Amino acid sequence: HIDCRQPVEDGIMNAADFETYLISHIKINGKKNNLSNKLTLERNKNKITVHAEIQFSKRYLKFLTKK
């Protein structure tokens, strides 16, 4: 889970925009925007959940959220 509650409530960011950012920047097999059916993102208000059918590093996800 990525909990975006605090920045969204403060008006710093929009959860929907952050979801599209993640979709366009996550690399699978060395290619951006290549999620296919192996990785799905689900947004519920202020929380984004990543479901991966392949091995996916939490460190890589943390790297993308820091950018």
Segment 38-63, tens digit of pLDDT: 888 899 888 899 888 888 888 998 89
Q: What CATH number has the domain bearing residue 10?
A: 3.30.1360.210
Return the higher-pLDDT residue of 25 and 33: 25
Which residue from 11, 10, 24 is spatially nearest to 67, judged by alpha carbons?
Answer: 24
DSSP letter assigned to residue 51: E
Domain count, the chain: 1
| Residue-range definition of the domain harbouring residue 26 | 2-66
Distance from CA of residue 57 to its chain's centroid?
12
pLDDT digits (tens, 9 = 90+) for 12-25: 888 889 889 888 99
Query: For residue 35, what pLDDT band results from cuts at 50, 70 and 90?
Result: confident
Token output for 5: 């509650």
Does 36 have pLDDT greater than 80?
Answer: no
